[in-house]
A and B are shown apart, each in its own frame.
Chain A
Amino acid sequence: MRKILFVCLLISVEFFSQGTELHVKQGSKNHVEFISDAPFGKFSGVTENIDGYMYWEGNNYTTNSSLYFEVDLKTLDTGIGLRNRHMRDNYLQTDKFPDASFKGKITNVTPAAQGPFKVDADGEMFIHGVTKYIKISGVLTKSGNSDYNLKTNFSIKLSSYNIDIPSIMMVKLSEVIELQLNFNLFSVNKAEGKK
C-alpha cells in the first residue's frame, strides 16, 4: 500500500514539474521604452523595472499557458525631472496606478528548431486603471542554458486608457505611444535549477 502511495506521489510530483516557468531576470539590463513621436519632437520614457513570469506545460508552449508582466511606471525617466513629475502626477497618476501590466496566455508559437521563435499572446493590458483586451507578439530567444530573451514592440492609444494628452507641454505628446521591450528571463524549473 505504501509503495502505491509513494508511486502516486511521484506521479503527482512528476505532473507538477512538467511546466516550464520563466521569471524576469532582475538587474540584467532590461529595457522598457515608451516612445512618443509627435510632429514637434520625439521623446521617450525609459525604465528597467519590469517583473513577471511566463508559464507553459509540455512542448507546444500553449498548454495551460499563462503570462504576466508588470512595468513600474513611477521609475519612467524621460530625461527631465519636471517632465517625469508631470507624467507621474498629472497624466499617469502613479500614486493610484503605479504599474502597467499585461496578463494573458500564449495562443500560438511559430516554432524554430534553433534560435528565436515568435510567440503570440493575448490578454488584458492594464494602464491607468483601464483594462483593454489586446494581442501582442514577441520574439523569444533561448540565450543560455536556462536563460531567455524576449523582445516585443507594440503601440497603445492614450485615449483608450483615459490618459489626457497634455495641451501645454515642453514637447507635444503623441496620441499613439510605441512600446519597445527587451528583457531577460530565466527558467526556475527544479530540474534545470539542479544543473
Chain B
Amino acid sequence: MKLRSIIVLTFLFSLAIQGMAQISWKKQEAVDNLPLQLFHSPQSINLPTAETLQKGDFEFEISHRFLPSIKDGSKNLYGFDGPVNMRLALGYAVTDDLVLTLGRSNVDDNFDLRGKYRLLQFKETFLPLLVGVQFGIAKNTQPIRQIASSGRAYQYFGQIIFNTMIDKKLGIGLVPSYLYNSNIYRADVQNSFTLGMNLQYYISNMVSVLAEFNPTVNGYLNRFNSAAFGFELETGGHFFKIILTNNAKLNPAQFLSGADKDFGNGEWRLGFNITRLLKF
C-alpha cells in the first residue's frame, strides 16, 4: 500500500466518523406517563364516571330536576313552573386520583360526603379500561316525615365504576351500586343493588349526547327503574347538561333507590346539571 492512499483512506475514515458519529445525542424513547382519560366529565347524568380532577382543582355543581313531567304540557311550562329538586355540591381533588365531594339536596335536606378514587387503568388492552370506586355517606338532616330512629337518617352507598371508550368517541360505563337504608321512612332497613350503565357519544369537541339506565337488580326499588338521556355542552371549564329523566332525585343516596315516575308512560322530567371547574 502506498503512503498516499493510506493518508487518503484515513482522511476519508475520519470524515466518515465525523459524518456518522459526530453527534452522540439520541432521541429518548417516548414514554406515556399520562393517566388514562376516557369520559370528559367526572359525572354522567347521575352516575359517576371514573374520571377525577387534577390535584388542587375544585368543582362546583348545581343541578335541578323539575318535578312536573313534560307530559303535563304548557300548564306547568313543561316543568319549569316547579316545584324543583336541587343539588349544590363542591368537590376537591386531594390527589390526581382522589376527589372528595360535599353535596346537599333540598329533598329531606340530604347532605352527602363522598370520595371517588381512580383505582386501575389498562391502556394497552383491546379496549382501554378505567376502574374507579366511590363511597359515600349521607344524612337526611330534616326529613319531611317522622323516621323511626335518628340512626335511620343515615344512608351509605358504594359504587364500582368500569369505563371504556371506543375510538375516543363512544364512552361506555358500567356502575354496579349498593345503597344501604334505601328508604329512610320504612320501619325495616332496606338495601338496594343496582346495575347502572351509561353511554356517551362525543359528536365534537363541544357537544355530546348521553344516556343512562339504572335498573335495580336486588332489594328495594321505589317504583320504577331510572332512565335518563340528554346532551352535554363542554367548554374550557364547564359541563352543561340538559336532560330528561323519570327520577327527580339528585343525591346518590336518594337517586339509587329508584324513580317514582314511569318513563314507559312518557313521564319524563326536565333537568340540568352544571359543573364549573375552579382553581384558587
Contacts and interface: CB of A to CB of B under 8 A. Distances in A.
A binds B: yes
Contacts, number: 94
B187 interface: no
Given A12-B17, A15-B14, A86-B236, A80 B6 contact: no
A83 B40 CA distance: 11
A72 B34 CA distance: 12
A170 B236 contact: yes
Nearest to B276: A170
B222 interface: no
A110 to B, nearest CB: 24
Interface in B1-54: 1, 3, 6-7, 10-11, 13-14, 17-18, 21-25, 27-28, 30, 32-34, 37, 40, 53-54
B189 interface: no
Contacts of B30: 72, 98
A84 to B, nearest CB: 7
A112 interface: no
A37 interface: no
A12 B10 contact: yes
B14 A82 contact: no
A80 B279 CA distance: 7
A53 B23 contact: yes
Given A52-B25, A53-B25, A82 B277 contact: yes
Contact of A90 (B13, B22, B27, B205): B205
A68 B237 contact: no
Interface residues of B, number: 37
A74 interface: yes
A130 interface: no
B206 interface: yes
B1 A1 contact: yes
Interface string A6-50: 001101110110010101000000000000000000000000000
Contacts of A178: none
B234 to A, nearest CB: 8
A70 B26 CA distance: 12
A66 to B, nearest CB: 7
A166 interface: yes
B13 A82 contact: no
Given A82-B236, A83-B236, A171-B236, A188 B24 contact: yes
B6 A5 contact: yes
Contacts of B56: 79
Given A80-B279, A82-B236, A169-B236, A51 B28 contact: yes
B23 A81 contact: no
B57 A168 contact: no
Given A8-B10, A53-B25, A81 B235 contact: no
Given A12-B17, A98-B30, A80 B37 contact: no
Contacts of B54: 79-82, 84
Given A16-B18, A53-B23, A90-B205, A79 B7 contact: no
A85 interface: yes
A102 interface: no
A4 interface: yes
A183 interface: no
Interface in A59-99: 64, 66, 68, 70, 72, 74-75, 79-86, 88-90, 98
A112 B85 CA distance: 72
B37 A85 contact: yes
A188 B206 CA distance: 48
Given A12-B14, A170-B236, A21 B7 contact: no
Contacts of A81: 53-54, 57, 93, 96, 277
A1 B23 CA distance: 31
Given A5-B10, A12-B13, A64-B22, 20 more contacts: A1-B1, A11-B14, A12-B17, A13-B14, A15-B14, A21-B23, A21-B25, A51-B27, A53-B23, A53-B25, A70-B27, A80-B57, A81-B54, A82-B236, A83-B236, A85-B37, A85-B40, A98-B30, A170-B235, A188-B24
12 contacts: A1-B6, A8-B10, A11-B10, A12-B13, A12-B14, A19-B22, A51-B27, A68-B25, A75-B33, A79-B56, A88-B34, A168-B235
The 3 closest A-B pairs by CB, nearest first: A81-B54, A12-B14, A170-B236
